[in-house]
Amino acid sequence: MNKVTVSAPGKLMLFGEHAVVYDHPCLVTAVDQRISLTAEIIDTPDFELEATDVDITGYKKPISELGQGEIPKGAKFVEIAVKNIYEQFGLDKGIRVTTSSEFSSKFGFGSSSASTVCAVKALSELFDLKLDSKGVFDLAFKAVLDIQGKGSGFDVAAATYGGTLYFVTGGKTIEPLNIDSLPLIVGYTGVKADTVTLINQVKEKFADNKTRLDEIYNEIDGIVEKAKPEVVSSNWEAVGKLMIQNQTLLKELGVSIEKLDDMITGAVNGGAYGGKLSGAGGGDCMIAFGPSESLTEIRKGITDAGGEIMDIKTNAEGVRVEDDQSNSS
């Protein structure tokens, strides 16, 4: 094989954000906005990258210099993933990587993690490394940590395994939940948020009250454990009530904003069982569950508060090979 194309999904957090950074569990679902990556072996000993969706064109450097020098933001995750795999498996062939994305960069759906997972999976296929899902997760998560210095890995797990997962920090537990569908209503605030900034903001806010911060994370942990069986049994009413409890704690952390609160209130007033922000907060998305007969009113409640309804499918398939071009010349 000298060329392969793979794709991986984005993610949406259902329960457990912020706490998951500190050794607590979360529930996360993969969404059907995908990143595709094609990797092919080339004759020169170079790494080439075309990623027009993040403004990378004509990027090239010798394989021997992977990870060195100034790396543009859009190239970082793929390059570091490639570097780590080349070092671990003693690879030296030149490679050209091309990515394309269905993600809108304004939504926090985990595109960096999805592209990292794609890079690892593609190289595993290309060089017959026989990495299983945990092997793909571990190498992709290592690349993310090498770049960011911190992270929980839930978005890497969602991109790797797909579906809906019960996940504990660092991949200590990655448990796929057996569910058919997840009738989630998703609203976007129009406000882009930065995860690392928000994590640090929480740290600073509770610098003098770490006891309460630990209590909040333990309470969120308890909500995740209660929500897990309710999600599996499709008890959306119970799930909605737990979302309201989780949102109250996220507000205390200081990561919700007025617009998120208004959109959640609009959804509940429209008939939703409950709702909460999804992800780091500070903007991005909110999610809700409600009865199918109230969908129109729930959506109207979100849009009346200035939100934009996102028509995305959840519980999406994880990283996969899109086409086998082993016979191409």
Catalytic residues: 155
C-alpha span between 166 and 175 (Å, rounded)? 5
Closest CA to 286 of 193, 218, 217: 193
- The amino acid occupying position 172 is K
C-alpha span between 194 and 35 (Å, rounded)? 20
SS3 37: strand
294 contact partners, CB below 8 Å, separation of at least 6: 270, 271, 272
DSSP string covering 125-181, please? HHTT----HHHHHHHHHHHHHHHHS----HHHHHHHHBSEEEEEGGGTEEEE---S-
**What does DSSP assign to residue 326?**
T
